[in-house]
Structure 1
Amino acid sequence: MSFANKVVLVTGASSGIGAAVAIAFSAAGAKVAIVGRNESKLSAVAAKCTNPLVIRADITKDKDALAVIDKTIKKFGQLDILINNAGLTVAGSILQGDMMKAYDNIMDINVRAVVQLTTLAAPHLLKTKGNIVNISSISGLLTPAYPAAINYNVSKAAVTHFSKCAAVEFAPHGVRVNTVSPGPVKTDFLENANSQNTWDDYKTMTCLNRVSEPDEISDLVLFLASDKAKGITGSNFVSDNGACIKRA
């Protein structure tokens, strides 16, 4: 697939899935704008892309979100594809404590930032008849494996449903919106969440007894963003090594 002359904006691009997506789009000929909060990690990803626009920003802040779009348009003159990937998890439960603190932190980045950037990007995507791919999670389809994950699951369910609703509104304008819901993927997610689990623990939660690599998810994202998926919108694509069916 070629993305020559396409401009792609990727949030959460400093590591994991976002980094893999940005590098894959660049390799396919796209002009990429990569967004994240960790400058050193962003620089490492930028080194693997061709002339990327590197934007250090906290997209939970309205001024930063606006700046991300403005800088992308100023640099490249257009926007064809928006990849809303940035996300995190914070432990907190109704009975065990820290519920509202965790809820506010998670919803700000996992949901509100997605809605905000989609809204800001909309006028530019209408001009290019572009598309959006939002990175959700199978957690949005399942009840939490443990109580402290409640807010993460709720946030990802919101992302998946928002994507469907946005797809309905964008469709008459020729703009597609889809979602990718990964299962366990080898990223720095566990480290960032201070989790005691290992990726070997997650293997046992899948039917295929494996955990995905980030480039498996980027392959799916690029397909959905390409003309090969021109008839697909409002859909959620699961790539989870059978984790959902194992819990069914």
Structure 2
Amino acid sequence: MELTGKTALVTGSTGGIGRETALLLASAGASVVVSGRDAERGARTVQSITEQGGRARFIAADLTDLDSLRGLAEAAGDVDILVNNAAVFPGAPTTDQDVASFDSTLATNIRAPYFLTAALVPAMIAKGAGSIVNISTMATRIGMPGLSVYSATKAALESLTRTWAAEFSPAGVRVNTVAPGPTRTDMVLSTMGEDGAAQVGKTTLLGRVAAPREIAEVVLFLASDRAAYITGATIAADAGRTAV
């Protein structure tokens, strides 16, 4: 298996894209650190992995709390693959956006991956190898009403991908982004609703919403040595929505 002997940390991996990514990385041989705020959901993800013969453990963390974030980094130890997936997805017109939700979104979507990466990447650099995959969104490329804060934070994360690639890749650490289109996750459905997500799905060239597993497959590719010559890139996994 292509990830045998490697350790992967996936934030926000108790559901949605993060959970499917954790399952796929484990099936490829990685020892996976599952992270999130809900211990019960985390235990279910770990159980799903171990029942399939994989290796995983759960570390609870609130990424809006810098002490909790530091604790996660320390407990995870040296990792070979970091997937910055955890995010919040507020939906509000700019004129209705409240400050508390704004600050929480920046803390989760930007500050957390920034300082978690800063904590974990030195060990990757010391080994001369590593892969960091950030999860963004197609909303960084197209204007979508109500997603001003979310899309802005993800655009910043894509900018960090390019900067981190410039900083870390000469030492052997690759950094890339996956930018999904509409995906059937609890977070998307709770914000857009089933009908809203379906309508956005119809605007893609394939005319449908993605399954979380389809996005996770792209993350697995970027994390693996099959993508050894790819760094600083943002891969659109949006059924062509931003291509036309």
TM-score, normalised to structure 1, is 0.91
Could you list the runs of 5+ residues in structure 2 that have no partner in the other structure? none
Aligned with 1:166 (options 164, 167, 174): 164
Corresponding residue for residue 60 of structure 2:
56
What SS does the aligned partner of 2:207 have?
A: coil
Give the 3 Å change call, closer, same or farther, for CA 170–17 of structure 1 in structure 2: same
Aligned with 2:241 (options 225, 240, 243): 243
Residue identity matched to 2:139: S
Distance of 1:100 and 1:177 partners within structure 2: 31
Alpha-carbon offset, residue 229 of structure 1: 1.0
Alpha carbon RMSD of aligned pairs, Å?
1.6
Per-residue CA distance 1:131-171 (angstroms, 9 max, x = gap): 1000111111222x21x211011111111111111110002
Alpha-carbon offset, residue 214 of structure 1: 1.1
What SS does the aligned partner of 1:244 have?
A: coil
Equivalent pairs, count: 239
Report if aligned partners of 1:25, 1:32 keep a CA contact under 8 Å in 2: yes
Corresponding residue for residue 127 of structure 1:
126
What SS does the aligned partner of 2:169 have?
A: helix
Distance of 2:122 and 2:110 partners within structure 1: 20
Distance of 1:85 and 1:153 partners within structure 2: 14
Aligned positions of 1:176-187 closer than 5 A? 176-187=174-185
Q: Which stretch of structure 1 is more off in the superposition, 192-201 or 21-30? A: 192-201
Give the 3 Å change call, closer, same or farther, for CA 170–227 of structure 1 in structure 2: same
Corresponding residue for residue 139 of structure 1:
139
Corresponding residue for residue 44 of structure 2:
44
% identical equivalent positions: 33
Could you list the runs of 5+ residues in structure 1 that have no partner in the other structure? none
What SS does the aligned partner of 2:175 have?
A: strand
Alpha-carbon offset, residue 127 of structure 1: 2.6
Corresponding residue for residue 113 of structure 1:
112
Alpha-carbon offset, residue 195 of structure 1: 4.3
2:2 is aligned with 1:2:
yes
Distance of 1:192 and 1:110 partners within structure 2: 18
TM-score, normalised to structure 2, is 0.92
Distance of 1:62 and 1:186 partners within structure 2: 30
